[in-house]
Amino acid sequence: MPGFLFIYKNNKYHRVHVREIQYISASGSYLHIVTSTQQFSLAQNLSQFLRQNQIPSLVRIHRSFIVNLECIDEFDHQYVYLGRHQIPIGASYRAKFMERILIC
């Protein structure tokens, strides 16, 4: 798997490096890929995105959110913090998320 995706926006395909993706949120049948400088919207749901793009650093932590493990600044029992963004951790995703995080 390459370290980037090509995402269509404004009649062009933009290369987005996976390390730049902070999180992905779902809204209905659309998902929004958020980087530190841009946001991209795709007509796709989170499950489809994860099936098509098996990227180890992207982890689903809520029915509406995927986060990039490399962008997490802090987390607690309820939330993941990525810069100024606070993303909830769903109860059914918490155990899987904790397995993916190395806790010292």
Domain containing residue 9: CATH number: 2.40.50.1020
Output the six-digit token pair for 44: 């796709």
Domain encompassing residue 72: 4-100
Tokens of 33: 């890929």
pLDDT in tens, 47-76: 999 999 989 999 999 999 999 999 999 999
Q: How many domains does the chain have?
A: 1
- Higher pLDDT: 25 or 103? It is 25
pTM for the whole thing? 0.91
The reported pLDDT for the residue numbered 103 is: 64
- Other C-beta atoms closer than 10 Å to the C-beta of 23 total 22
**C-alpha to C-alpha distance for 53 and 31, rounded to whole angstroms:** 14
Burial class (CB in 10 A: 0-12, 13-18, 19+), 75: middle
Q: What is the mean pLDDT of the chain?
A: 92
